[in-house]
Amino acid sequence: MPKRILEKTSLEVCRLRSDGSYAVGGVSGLYLKIEGGSRSWVFRYVHDGHRRRMGLGSYPLVGLAEAREAARNALKLRLGGVDPLQARQAQREAARLAIARQVRFDDAAEAFIAEHEGTWRSLKHAKQWRSTLATYAFPHIGHLQVADIGQAHVLQVLAPIWKTKTETASRLRGRIEQVLDWATAHGHRTGPNPARWRSQLEHILADPNKLAPVKHHAAVPVAILPDTYQRLLAMDGQSARALRFLILTAARSGEVRGMVWSEVDLEAGLWTVPAERMKSNREHRVPLSRQALELLRAQPRIPSVEHVFPSNRKGPLSDMALTAVMRRHELGAVPHGFRSTFRDWAGEMTHHARDAVELCLAHAIDTRTEAAYRRGDMLEKRAAIMQEWADFASAETTEMAR
């Protein structure tokens, strides 16, 4: 028969001074451990055949009555087949996770932007992120913990502008989704993403493509492109020359405006656009036609100025410079539309392979599996296409020849 431990009083416990472990009674397994002047409570028990010790706090910060209550609770767990130590560790981990999840949406959004803006192509992109979130999302959910945001909150943000500002609302939804995915990955929330479109919001909100059909860039029709080119040929100024080069290369406006002389090899007839300046984030080699090379050789080179088509301030032309020329001379299109003109010309007036044409536009044409086997960029084939295109675009028309 186990020896019965008499319950010690608070005064008796207070008088214990010598090093050792003292059973204080009241609850089987409760001891006051004294070592080197420090005193603490210990609950001893056996679980799955192993002797365990569970600290219950220091004395006198934790009094005798509190220690007995804590020991009783631990004993109940042990009798129920639960290891009290493991149960406490799980409770502490849950509390730690609860604290970690306490992140406001506006703070999570700023953290997401800070982590990713270095990978974005321009500062403008980060400004757009901050602007749309601050304008439309933060007033509704900025103060909420990311762990508490549900579908109703997301709809509260999107519904008022979904039909009136559809494109903005659609981009906003994607940004909210990315912020919440980031929060989930960092352990700040669990469960499905309430801003996800597929299999979720697509069943609640109207299809944005039907509400606001995609508007393509206004393009010069293929038939009048030579006339348009001749009109540009008659104009002076960097913007007009940059537009002519843009047409001849079927490049994007930003690629032409940011072009520097170190990217150009006039002897090889090649313009190599580095990956960081490409939308695809891959280096793109552009074969230069005779007309493009003539334009570059005639282009004045200003000492200490790197850009091929510099502005008056010696930096790159602004993103509106080329558009302004087209508006001022009522050309009825936008610079990016010349890429569509090129694609229409290639598809309607030539028999060139689709893949080669798409590579001229620096479009991705491969699946990942195909890309693993394709190493070349069809440079020779593309050179033939671009020369044929330049001959067509720069041809002197009957109207202009009069």
Does residue 20 sit within a domain? yes
User: 3-state class of 310 per DSSP?
Assistant: strand
Query: Which residue has 């009048």 as its token pair?
Result: 224
344 within a domain of the structure (yes/no): yes
197 and 232 both lie in a single domain: no
Taking residue 391's Cβ as centre, other Cβ atoms within 10 Å add up to 13
Contact criterion met (CB below 8 Å) for 189 and 235:
no
Residues 312-340 as b or e (16 or more Cβ within 10 Å = b): eeeebbeeebbbebbeeeebebbbbbbbb
Residue listed under structure tokens 């220690």: 67
Contacts of 191 (CB under 8 A, 6+ apart): 184
Last residue of a domain, one of 77, 99, 121: 99
330 shares its domain with 185: no
In a domain, 321, yes or no: yes
Residue that is last in its domain, among 67, 83, 99: 99
Claim to verify: residue 94 and residue 111 sit in the same structural domain: no
Number of domains making up the chain: 3
Check which CATH number belongs to the domain holding 334 and give it.
1.10.443.10
Domain assignment present for residue 3? The answer is no
- In sequence order, which ranges of 186-237 are alpha helices (DSSP H)? 208-211, 225-233
Mean pLDDT of the chain: 88
Q: What is the pLDDT of residue 400?
A: 41
Q: Given this model, what pLDDT does residue 330 score?
A: 84
| Residue 371 structure tokens | 């890309």
Closest to 163 in 3D by CA, of 210, 203, 214? 210
**What is residue 369's predicted lDDT score, i.e. its pLDDT?**
44
Residues of the chain above pLDDT 90, percent: 60
Q: Same domain for 160 and 56? A: no
Give the integer Cα–Cα distance in Å for 401 and 365: 40
Amino acid at 213: P
Residue 356 maps to a domain = yes
Residue 247 lies in a domain: yes
- Report if residue 367 sits inside a domain: yes
Question: Residue 23 belongs to a domain with what CATH number?
Answer: 3.30.160.390
Q: What is the pLDDT of residues 93-145, one digit of tens each?
A: 877 776 666 899 999 999 999 999 877 767 778 889 999 999 999 999 999 99
d(CA 335, CA 217) in angstroms, rounded, equals: 9
User: Does 60 share its domain with 183?
Assistant: no
258 and 244 share a domain? yes
Range of the domain at 275: 222-401
81 and 189 within one domain: no
Last residue within a domain, chosen from 45, 66, 99: 99
Terminal alpha carbon distance of the chain = 123
Alpha helices, DSSP H, located in 186-251:
208-211, 225-233, 238-249
Q: What is the pLDDT of residues 36-85, one digit of tens each?
A: 889 999 999 998 888 999 998 999 899 999 999 999 999 898 888 888 88
Residue 1 falls inside a structural domain: no
Instruction: Give the model's confidence band at 269: pLDDT under 50 very low, under 70 low, under 90 confident, else very high.
Output: very high
What mean pLDDT do residues 272-292 have? 92
Based on the fold, state whether residues 243 and 331 are members of the same structural domain. yes
State the Cα–Cα distance between residues 264 and 274, nearest whole angstrom. Answer: 11
Contact indicator for 182, 112 with CB cutoff of 8 Å = yes
Rg (CA), the chain: 36
